[in-house]
Structure 1
Amino acid sequence: MQVEVITLFPEMVEQGLGYGVPRIAREKGALQLSARNPRDFADNRHRSVDDRPFGGGPGMVMQAPPVVAAIEASRAALPDTRVVAMSPQGERLDQSWLQAMAGLPSLTLVCGRYEGLDERIQAAVDCELSLGDFVMSGGELAAMSVIDGIARLLPEVLGHADSARDESFVEDLLDYPHYTRPKSWREQSVPEVLLSGDHARIARWRYQQALGNTWLKRPDILESISLSEESKALLGEFIAQQQERVRKEKA
C-alpha cells in the first residue's frame, strides 16, 4: 500500500513512523510512505503557505493554492488514491475506517496547521477524519496514528496472523484481558481457565471478558450493537459475577 502525507513537516512524519509496526511494514514492502510539502508549491520567495483570515480573528489559515496543488500532485502520482484531510471537524476515526483504508491501493493524508485549512480546500479532498473531540496543533500526529493503525492490518506485517483480529473494536467490542508469565505475581494469579488447555473454554471466557470489559468501560458501544441471546447470557453471567465480587468486598 502507498501512503502519502501532505505536511509542512515531512521529517516529523518520517521519523515518527520509523519505529515499531510501521517500520516493519515498510521493511517488508507492505507499506510505501512518502511526504509532500505544500511549501514546494508556494508562489512567493519566502515559501509561505499561510495568511491572515478574512473577517479578522486570531491566527493564520493555510492557503488553498499551495495545498490544493500538493493534493493534485499526489493524485497525479497516485491515480487511485483517496484523499483524507485530518480535521477535528471530520467523522470519528474507528477500526472500521482503518479496515476500509487498509484495503485501498493508496491513500493521501492532508495535515492542517495553524487555525486550519482554507474552506475551499474541501473540494479537493474526499473526506475528513478526526481522532476525537479535541484540537491539536497540527494533523501530523493524527495522520501517523492512521498509518500506524493501517500498518497493523496489512498482510504478513504482524508476527501472528490472528493478532490484528483479536484486538479491541475488531468485533465491535473491547479486547479481553491478557496474561503472561509469571503465573502468580503480587498475590494475583492468572485465571485458571487460561492454564486449562481447553480451547473451547478459553474462547468462551475471552469472549465473555470482552463483553464484560465493554460493559465496564464503554457501555455506549453495547448500546449501539445487537447482541445474540447467547451473548446476552454471557454478559449477564459477567455482571452477576461483578456484583457478587463487589458484595463480598463490602461485607
Structure 2
Amino acid sequence: MYLKLTNPLVFFDLETTGTNIVSDRIVEYSFIKVMPGGEVINNTEKVNPERTIPLESSLIHGIYDKDVKDKPPFKAMAKELATFLKGCDLAGFNILKFDVPVLVEEFLRADVDFDISKRKLLDAQKIFHMMEKRTLTAAYKFYCNKDLVDAHSAEADTMATLEVLDAQVKKYEGQTLKDLKGNVIGTIENDVETLHQLTNENMVDLAGRFVFNEKSIEVFNFGKFKGMVVEEVLKKETGYYDWMMKGDFPMDTKRKLTEIKLRGFKR
C-alpha cells in the first residue's frame, strides 16, 4: 500500500435497513484492516437487524430477511468488533455523513464504548470532491475544454450549460447508464424525452419529499414514514396529511400530497 501508516487503518462499509442514522440498523458490515507492515485482515459479517428489511433497501444491497434471520444481532458482536477496531483509524467512501454515525449509534445501543475522538477519519469521497470539482466551471472545462469567464453571471452560466449539455450528448450518445449495483437504467440518446426520463427517473415532487419506489408507487423520502407508500400512510395516519399541509413544506409538495390523497379516495 502506497499510503504511509503509523496505526492500523480500517476501511469499512455498512449495508443497512435504510438511510436514517437514528432508526435504521446494520444488516452487513465489512472491515478490512491494513496493518502498518502491510498485513491485510478481512472481517465481513451479516447482521440480524431485529426488524424487517424494507424491500426497497433489499433491492439495492441484495440482502433479504431470509439472509439474516439466523445471524446474530449487532449487540452480540459489538464487544468483539470493538476489540478488532481498537487503536485503528477509519477510512471509507462517504463514511463521515453516514457509516461512522450509524456505527457509533449501534455501539451506543449495545452499551459498548467506541470513542472516535482519538481516531483519524479518512473519507475518500471528500478528497474526490475536493480534487475533482463538480462545478459548472469544471464541467465546462472537461466537456468543452474552455475556461468559464464571468462565472456566476446568469448569462455566462446559462450559455456554458447549453454547451455542456450539447457536448454531453455528443460524448455519451449510445452509452448505457448503470446504477451503483451495475443494473442498466437506460441509454443516453439524442432525444429530450429520453434524457428527461433518465434525469427525473423517480421524482414525484420538486423538493424530493416523495419519490417513486421500484414499483413506480409514491413513497415518503423523509421522516418516520420514509420508504412507506404515501397513500397507505394517509389512510392509516389520518392526521399526517393535515400536519404536512400546515407545515413548512413547498406548495408543490402539498399539491402532490393532495393529488395522492384524492386519488386514494376514488379507489
RCO higher in structure (CA 8 A, sep ≥6): 1
Same fold flag (TM > 0.5) = no
TM-score (norm 2): 0.28
